[in-house]
Amino acid sequence: MVTEFVAETHKAKFGPRFKKDRKAVQSVVDQLTQDVKEKLSLELKENGKITIDVPEVGDGKVELTSGTKSTPHEFPA
């Protein structure tokens, strides 16, 4: 089995918060490596929020809260 972290966003909360920047934020989240997703998942669980770099948005930093989650999924090897 291979464990892969998949970032999931709740569109009802995600869309209104990021409005026109939604696609840029989602693109960065989708491109994160498995190692980074795993580290951010642990940080999110521990602190209730994480900060990621999104150069196209404001000051380049975006804070995501526990309304966004990264969960492990197991796949056959």
* pLDDT tens profile 9-65: 667 777 777 788 888 888 998 898 988 988 988 888 899 888 999 998 888 998 888
**CATH number, position 55:** 3.30.720.200
Residue 20 neighbours by CB distance under 10 Å: 7
- Band the pLDDT of 70: cuts 50, 70, 90: very low
- Which domain does 66 fall in, by range? 2-75
Per the structure, how many domains does the chain have?
1
* pTM beyond cutoff 0.75: no
Distance of alpha carbon 40 from alpha carbon 12, whole angstroms: 22
Can you give the pLDDT at residue 8? 67
Distance of alpha carbon 33 from alpha carbon 47, whole angstroms: 21
- Is the model more confident about 68 or about 43? 43
